Amino acid sequence: MTGGVRLGADQVAAIDDGDALNAVAPVDVVANTVRGPTAGRLIGKVKPGGVFASVTGAPDNAKHFPAVRVVAFVSKQDAKTVLHMAQAVSAGRLVIPIDRKLPLKDAAAGHAAVENGVNGKVLLLT
């Protein structure tokens, strides 16, 4: 991103790779978007005094991490709005531009493409 803020990553791990996730060193913040056991494992990666911010609410085991500040909020979509948007997409009135589709293994290339500027979304596919 030219002229924008860059957020770097010191570590990257696939959340479905138990060994890789276990190897992640404690962090200051987790921005969580998953539920269930994975969220429970991720909160354990937050340093005491750190923040676990989650769009899916607090994980079931949050009480076991009293030194971690949990900022939980749940997004609830209005059914009428979702239906309106789906109809707009179907009718071609709402178009989400896709610049490219890449396999998940090429995530680094997708990230580089976004940094260099693309004309739409970069989708990572499994």
d(CA 85, CA 91): 10
Please say whether the dihedral angle defined by the alpha carbons of residues 57, 59, 65 and 48, taken in this order, is positive or negative: negative
104 within 8 A of 125, measured Cβ to Cβ: yes
Lookup: tokens for 53: 């911010």
At 33-85, the pLDDT tens digits run: 888 888 999 999 999 999 999 988 899 999 999 999 999 876 677 899 889 98
59 CB neighbour count, 10 Å cutoff: 25
Evaluate the CA torsion angle 112, 22, 14, 7 in order and state its sign. negative
Query: 1 falls in which pLDDT band (50, 70, 90)?
Result: very low
pTM of the complete model: 0.55
pLDDT the model gives residue 5 = 44
